[in-house]
Each structure stands twice: as C-alpha cells, then as structure tokens.
Amino acid sequence: MKSYHDYINRYAALLDEARSIQPGTAEPPIRPSQVHSSCALLFAPHPDDESIIGALALRLLKETGCRIINVAVTLGSHHTRRAARKAELENACRYLGFELVHPLESGLEHINPTARDEGTGEWMDAVLRIRSLLRKYSPDLLILPHANDWNSTHIGTHHLVMDALRESGLISCRLVETEFWHPMEEPNIMIESSPEDVAELVTAISFHLGEIERNPYHLALPSWMHDNVRRGAEHLGGQGGEIPAFHFATLYRIRQWHDRMVSRITPATPFIPAQQNIQTLLNP
C-alpha cells in the first residue's frame, strides 16, 4: 500500500467483498464450561442490541465466567416480524453464549417516555415484570441504554429498568450504561475489543437476517467501534492526551447502585485494553 488512495480503495473493496459472506450460518464457538460466580442482566431494547452493545458482556463471559442473561425488552414494532425476530434473537444469543429471557413472550409494548409519563397500565405491568426479573436473578451488574440514547424505545428501556430497580429491593449492583443512537455526554470507560471479539459480535448480528437484508449494518460495526476510539480517547483522556493504541472499543458509563441511590464511580483507568482481565468492573 503506497498511498491513501490505495487505502480507501482497498477499504471499499473489502466492504463490498464482505457482503458475499453468508450471514446467520456460523456455528457457536466452543466455550469452556465455567461455574458462574456473578450474573449480569443485559437489557436489549430491540433484538440485535444485545450484539451491537454486547462487547462488555462478551468479555465478562469469556474472562470471568459471568452469567450473561439477555433480557429481550421488545421484539420490535412490526407485529408480522416478531416471530421471526424472536427466532433470530435466539440464534444470536446461542452463538454468543448469552442466556435469553422474555419479560413477555410476545414482547413488551410501548416502552417509551410517553407511556411512562402517562402512567399507563402497560407501563406499570412492564415495571412489575422487570422488577420480578431483578428479584429472581439478583444481578451483580445491569447493562442498559443511557437516558438520552435518542431512540424512544432505548430511552424507555433506561427508565423502565431504573423504575423497576427502585421497586426491586436490590441493595447493590453495578450499572453500566450503553450508547448507540446518541453518544453519552459523560462516559467514564473505554473497553477495547479484540479482533476475535469484534468478529463474534458481527457474526451474532448477522443472525438477525430480516434486519440486515434491508441494511447490512453488521458490516459497519468495526467502523463504529474504531470511531469510538477516536472520539473516546480525548473525551476520557483529556484534550491532547495520549491516545490508546486500540483498534476497536466501546464506550460505557459505569456507576454504582447502592441503597436506592446511584453514585458516580471513577475507574482506576478509563481505558481497559483487550489483554487486561475485566474482573475489576464487577467489584463494588
């Protein structure tokens, strides 16, 4: 490669070539059996969110044996696609090694700020269902969208989990907020993903066949994760600061829930490289 023209042409050709990969056919990786010492609930507003923002969950599973339970909050807004999306989600979770639970088998409805503000019966029922899951699993860690993640269901999912948490009686756990549709104003940690992990996340998204047929966004995940490095490096390390030599990363905000209060956490380092064990994120 001798010029940036070569670089961009090869990059574009690589994206075109990747479209020929058959999606949704990979066999799950063989993972060693582990005794679960901790539990994390990942609240996915839609099928595919478990894979898009699942970098941390995947590392926790691999490196600590953490039990990852994907809570499928909704099955999307199109009723005719829900059965297919449920099957696609099952395949994606099986590939990643995540367990899967449905607060409601047909998917919760109207998980958005308007339903919460109006105090609808659907909203109150949804809160009770999530509260039940929190009491059942007593998780060490909750993964949920941040409160301003643009999409109404993402925002609704944030408030749904927080409303249920206040009612759950759960004394202490870590809260990990995610971003996708809109960046967080105050992330406090950047978690690197190895090329192997990124490939597994892209593969998992590929099981959502009906979605990627109209928009092959799984192929854009590496670019998004690389841009997270560009954006997050100075956001977390300070303007003009040293840039970590990451290729792929995801930004999160980690806080602590204790005795019905949310408190800030300052991680020992804002940058977690792929070769550093991620166990410390579970320690209160």
| Residue numbers of the domain that contains 103 | 34-282
The domain that holds 214 is classified in CATH as 3.40.50.10320
Residue 9 lies in a domain: no
Q: How far is 146 from 156, CA to CA, in rounded Å?
A: 10
65 domain-assigned: yes
The mean of the pLDDT values for the chain is 95
Confidence band (pLDDT; 50, 70, 90) for 115? very high
pLDDT digits (tens, 9 = 90+) for 204-250: 999 999 999 999 999 999 999 999 999 999 999 988 888 899 999 99
**Higher-confidence position of 34 and 268:** 268
pLDDT at 227: 97
Structural domain count, the chain: 1
Is 7 part of a structural domain of the chain?
no
Residue 171 lies in a domain: yes
User: Is 198 contained in some domain?
Assistant: yes
Q: For residue range 175-188, what is the model confidence (pLDDT) as tens digits?
A: 999 999 999 999 99
Query: For residue 4, is it within any domain?
Result: no
Residue 27 in any domain: the answer is no
On whether residue 194 sits in a domain, the answer given is: yes
Q: Quick check: pTM over 0.85? A: yes
CB hemisphere CA count around 26 (13 angstroms): 21
